[in-house]
Amino acid sequence: MLKAVARLWQGGGGFETPFGTVYAANLTTDPDFGIGDWAIEDFAKAVRQGLSPDDVPYYPVFTYAFYQDFSDQQIADLWAAFQTVAPVSEPVPATDLAFPFSERDSLKLWRAAFLHAPRTTSVLGQSDTWNRGCELVEGATHCAACHTERNIAGGRKVDTGRMQGNDVLPGGSKAPAITSAALVSSGWDVDSLSYALQTGITPSGDTFGGSMGEVVQMGTRFMTQEDRIVMATYLMDQSDE
Ligand code: HEC
């Protein structure tokens, strides 16, 4: 069992993007291949700013853009959790991207153009439930990473494509639109949505496929029922579309 948990964080999963394949990093406590020799400040910078300890930008398949608002306490909690991951002394394959994305310096330009602040700020006049749902959906659970259209440089179209779906996800799957209007017209409500985030089962009795299956399997099913309900409440009423 411990072995299985360790393998979960050893990285190496490939993201096949239109620009080439990016491999997920080893996040175990191994000092050579993982993050075992990092200080919490390095971890905070990586998670909130997408920068390595040497200030080299990470590729945006790492969804740091959504974590920019994490509080010091949230970072400390995450850090404490990662300290419990057993070291795995294995490298991950080298990322293999086409020019200009092969040049990490070009990522600085990319960040200047496409690194958007998360929409996690509380909205006055909305309930605590809605605001908490907004924080989770727009931040930590990064639903928009897959459900928002991207331009040809892989930047999210935050103005025109927000939650409008994305037909070219890494690995070839398609994420449908999850604006409130789209969810209503597909027959979702707060109950069915929070249930699907727990079980992966949709109102028609199907199960989520592709990467959405993994979102539930590896993510939302571990959340509290209350968190899933506030997320569903926000999703059904993203009144600012
Ligand atoms: C890694 C990419 C990815 C992420 C992140 C992601 N989704 Fe999805 N989502 C998908 C894909 C792919 C599908 C299509 C699944 C299928 O065809 O069975 C989907 C389908 C859905 C659907 C079904 C919509 C419909 O009417 O058919 C809902 C609802 C949904 N996602 C909600 C969410 C929420 C809420 C989050 C954030 C917690 C989220 N998704 C995060 C990839 C993703």
CATH classification at residue 209 = 1.10.760
Q: Per-residue confidence at 111, pLDDT binned at 50, 70, 90?
A: confident
The alpha carbon of 177 and the centre of ligand 1 are apart by a number of angstroms equal to 9
Last residue of a domain, one of 62, 86, 114: 114
Q: Are residues 99 and 137 in the same domain?
A: no
Number of domains in the chain: 2
pLDDT value of residue 151:
84
The alpha carbon of 39 and the centre of ligand 1 are apart by a number of angstroms equal to 34
pLDDT value of residue 83:
96
Ligand 1 near 216 CB (within 6 A): no
- Specify the higher pLDDT residue, 83 or 114: 83
Q: Distance between CA atoms of 105 and 237, rounded to whole angstroms?
A: 40
- Domain contains 119: no
- Domain contains 43: yes
Least confident of 15-29, 41-55, 104-118, 213-227: 104-118
- Specify the higher pLDDT residue, 217 or 60: 217
Kindly tell me if the per-residue pLDDT of 5 is higher than 70: no
- Domain contains 88: yes
pLDDT value of residue 202:
95
The total of other beta-carbon atoms located within 10 Å of residue 122's CB is: 12
Best residue for ligand 1 mutational test, from 17, 61, 146 (most atoms within 8 Å of Cβ): 146
> What is the average per-residue pLDDT within 126-140?
96
Q: Are residues 106 and 191 in the same domain?
A: no
Kindly tell me if the per-residue pLDDT of 119 is higher than 60: yes
Which residue is closest in CA terms to ligand 1's atom 34?
A: 143
Q: Are residues 109 and 7 in the same domain?
A: yes
Kindly tell me if the per-residue pLDDT of 4 is higher than 80: no
Which residue is closest in CA terms to ligand 1's atom 30?
A: 178
Q: Are residues 146 and 219 in the same domain?
A: yes
Which has the closest alpha carbon to 167: 156, 175, 179?
Answer: 175
Question: Which domain, by its residues, includes 190?
Answer: 128-235
Q: How much is the pTM? A: 0.92
Q: Are residues 85 and 186 in the same domain?
A: no
Kindly tell me if the per-residue pLDDT of 30 is higher than 80: yes
Q: Are residues 146 and 196 in the same domain?
A: yes
Last residue of a domain, one of 114, 145, 167: 114
Burial of 238 (0-12, 13-18, 19+ CB in 10 A): buried
Kindly tell me if the per-residue pLDDT of 241 is higher than 60: no
| Residue 188, token pair as written in the block | 């979702």
The alpha carbon of 200 and the centre of ligand 1 are apart by a number of angstroms equal to 10
Contact 144, 151 (CB under 8 A): no
Kindly tell me if the per-residue pLDDT of 240 is higher than 80: no
Percent of the chain whose predicted confidence (pLDDT) is above 90: 66
Q: Are residues 139 and 101 in the same domain?
A: no
- Specify the higher pLDDT residue, 50 or 101: 50
